[in-house]
A and B are shown apart, each in its own frame.
With several copies, the nearest count.
Chain A
Amino acid sequence: MELYRGGLRVNDITNRWYQDISKSNYGAFITFIGTIRDEDNIDALSFDIYEPILKSWFESWQIIANQKGAKIFMAHSIGDVKVGESSYISAVASPKRRVALELIDEFVEDFKANAPIWKYDVIASKRVYAKDRSTPMNGAGVLSGEEND
């Protein structure tokens, strides 16, 4: 797992990951690249990350991937990322294609729902929490007395 201040250097990262897996007899390698879209008059998005829990979340996915003979990769930005730049890259390598295709989907969706990362719109140099696009994590509601998982 790799965290960088500002936008990601996409080609450097994906080429390095491909190099990394290319000696390991994986038949399928899928990368997902997320780019900041020009919408809602934003100049950038900005991200806060809580690293200890992001790290353990990622490690639990790496274990799931390993059990399927696969390997996952992830890079994310911290702080401001301008429109047109990439803030998120993930990848899955696996011996056969089905595992990779299913895992990249499950991983990216769980990332969206449960990775401890908070997103802000940056408009006229002001940071506004993207509350309406955010999702309560698994376990949210525990303070209201709800048993949840």
Chain B
Amino acid sequence: MVKIEFLGPIEIDDIELDIDNLKDLSIYMKQDENLKEWIDISAVAVNDKIITTPDYKLNSGDRVSILPPVCGG
């Protein structure tokens, strides 16, 4: 299982999914009215490291963070 956490303004509780890659996650998010708007504009970290390759392989126990658009300062 892979743990998914939604950061900042995405008001969705953490979930656990049985997925192998980010494409699977994207398919899951597309089906949720509250999540699909974040797909195109969010960055993704796996175990706190930003991932830039869509075919990145996920392993059981990984923690995936969804990072929506930022504005510090």
Chain A residues near B (Cβ < 8 Å):
34, 47-50, 52-53, 56, 76, 87-88, 97, 108, 111-120, 129-131, 133-149
Contact B50 A50 (CB under 8 A): no
Q: Please give 15 more A-B residue pairs, beta carbons under 8 A apart, in addition to A139-B43, A139-B51, A143-B40.
A: A49-B72, A50-B7, A112-B73, A118-B7, A118-B9, A119-B71, A119-B73, A135-B70, A136-B43, A137-B69, A137-B70, A143-B42, A144-B26, A145-B23, A147-B53
Q: A116-B7, A129-B8 are in contact. Are A147 and B52 (CB under 8 A)?
A: yes
Q: What number of A-B contacts does a CB cutoff of 8 Å give? A: 124
Closest to A49 in B: B72
Question: Which of A88, A116, A117, A136 has the largest count of B CB atoms less than 10 A from its CB?
Answer: A116
Contact B39 A133 (CB under 8 A): no
Q: How far is the CB of A129 from chain B (nearest CB, A)?
A: 4
* Contacts of B58-73 to chain A: CB distance below 8 A: 65-73
Closest to A111 in B: B72
Closest to B66 in A: A143
Q: A120-B9, A129-B9, A143-B42 are in contact. Are A137 and B73 (CB under 8 A)?
A: no
